[in-house]
Chain A
Amino acid sequence: MTIAQVLSAIQLGLLYGILAVGLYIPFRILDIADMSVQGTFTMGMIITAVFSYNRMPFLGIIVAILGGAIAGIVTGILHTKFNIPSILSGILTMTALYTVNLIIASGKANISLIGKDTLYTIADKLIGNEQATKTIVTLLIAILTTVMISVFFHTRTGLTIRATGDNAAMVRHTSINTDNMKMIGLGLGNAMSALSGALISQYNLFADVNSGTGILVVALAAIIIGETLFKRNGVTLGLISTIVGSIIYRFIIAVALKFDVLPSYALNMISTIIVIIALMFPTIKETFDRNAKKRLHLELANKYLNNNNNVLTTTEKNVSDPPIDKKSGGENE
């Protein structure tokens, strides 16, 4: 891999990492599989593209974030106030957003930003190196958002949102409205997803209403890879591992495409296979561990069975271990 390819994988990993964080909030913290993330990602792209086209690249990103938050809250209202199952609420919002996106783009399927000012072209004038600009700007935004979200989830509201995903009944008994907490979480997640779309449209200088297709699996892959490598441990580590997972995913894709294993249009299939393997990993590992243990025990059992009783008792004496020290225990479950 050339340096340019490595940098490109890191940049894309960070950009899609923000999207993965957007999915992580509803999916892992609230325990809601939110499909609207796909719609808000595209909406972020389109809104920013329209604003950038009209020479307002920064305002475009801010409006995209707000738009994403509103769409997320709509999903939340459908789910909590009207008791529509969360997965269906997400699908409804996502489908409606397709039309909304076309309306924002004035009916055009795609918008090109070539020759227009974006966050990256403006920063490039200061830094002077295109690759360096793209890496630094993306890295800064990724770090900033991760820190902000992490801090937010340690505030009172953030703690309540985490508890809502963990034990909603208990939160209600604390006299807190869990509906509002779910809406805040969904709004925040979709705002992040829209931010990711917004940055990617300025990065690629291009936005398309169909860009969201398959994007959920990409975000899911980042979350799962992160969890497979770093375990599920707290919000802050969860967010960081998701972004690292997203970068690793980009490297896997880059390698897969480099060796021409599959044509470039097979990206969605590659993503799906990565997610499946990552999801199967714990089960496979467990089976291997169990088989290894079983072999060891079979060997011992055979040794006993092949010898006479006398030997069996003496070996048993040698084999028997002292009882496990109880003092170190104390955690029952």
Chain B
Amino acid sequence: MNNSNDLMLRIRRMTKVFFPGTSNEKIALNRVNLDLKKGEFVTILGANGSGKTTLFNAICGTLELDDGIVILDGSDITWEKEHKRALHISRIYQDPQMGTAPNLTIAENLALAYTRKASPSLFPLNKKDYRFFHEQLEILEMDLELRMNTKIGLLSGGQRQAVSLVMEIISQPKLLLLDEHTAALDPQTSEKILEVTNKFVRSAGVTTMMITHNVQDALTNGDRTIVFSGGIIAHDYRGAERDALDPNNLQKLYG
């Protein structure tokens, strides 16, 4: 049924064991198989230590796998170096500090993210790119386009996370990984960032995975929800089955 050309990400037998052979042995990922269609937006739920972040680390190349293969858009990236994969994979972390360089301005941070996709030019802040960044920031509706020469370090956590989002989108990744990217923000800002996330993901049509601890967010965003438990995918909801889910029932699965 699934034509492999439609698949952006294919994971087979993905296995990672921490501290093997000791009493602390922990199977973080236990032969996980996962397929993501092009443009699919998947939300991921799961208790702490269930393997969600290990999955992201393994996809990004921060961790080396013990077993398994990762295929991104038809090419095997299992043994590719982290910075090489980063060309196609973007990731936003929970900590707003991680995704931006604090002593550079908003425009400079965007220019850096855009380096790989911009038309070649000696200076990164040329008029054409500057206008493009301005347009992208306008979509946020956070007035950040008026402060493009402000150092990122002076922005609030929510503003920094919004800029991170724009940075990842303009780098045109094949896969976008959101690692609890709204968890450190207050409810209003968190909602705003989620709204913008949806806007960007849909308009760019980028394949996305989003880890969250908020069951409601997991069900209202995206078009598929995966529940991790003990290193395996315990549940995989989509379509009508997903729509019929009651957040309160899902909360029980957490334990």
Contacts and interface: CB of A to CB of B under 8 A. Distances in A.
Interface of A: 154-156, 159-160, 162-163, 166-167, 169-178, 331-333
Contacts of B157: 332-333
Interface stretch (B110-118, B205-213, B218-226): B110-118
Nearest to A332: B156
Contacts of B90: 173
A175 B101 CA distance: 15
Interface stretch (B78-86, B193-201, B229-237, B239-247): B78-86
B87 interface: yes
B101 A177 contact: no
Interface stretch (B2-10, B67-75, B120-128): B120-128
A169 B98 contact: yes
Given A160-B112, A174-B113, A155 B104 contact: no
A155 B82 CA distance: 25
29 contacts: A154-B123, A154-B125, A155-B122, A155-B124, A156-B122, A159-B108, A159-B124, A162-B104, A163-B108, A166-B103, A167-B100, A167-B101, A170-B99, A170-B101, A171-B101, A172-B83, A173-B90, A173-B91, A173-B99, A174-B115, A174-B116, A174-B171, A175-B84, A175-B85, A331-B155, A331-B156, A332-B156, A332-B157, A333-B156
A162 B83 CA distance: 18
A177 B87 CA distance: 11
Report, nearest first, the 6 A-B pairs whose CB atoms are least far apart: A332-B156, A166-B101, A175-B87, A175-B86, A167-B101, A163-B101
Contacts of B85: 175
Contacts of A173: 83, 86, 90-91, 99
Interface residues of B, number: 33
Interface of B: 82-87, 90-91, 98-104, 108-109, 111-113, 115-116, 121-125, 153-157, 171
Interface of B is mostly: loop
Given A172-B83, A175-B86, A159 B155 contact: no
Contacts of A172: 82-83, 86
Contacts of B121: 156
Contacts of A167: 98, 100-102
Interface of A is mostly: helix
Contacts of B116: 174-176
A163 B171 CA distance: 16
B124 A156 contact: yes
Nearest to B81: A177
Nearest to A172: B83
Nearest to A152: B122
Contacts of B98: 167, 169-170
Contacts of B108: 159, 162-163
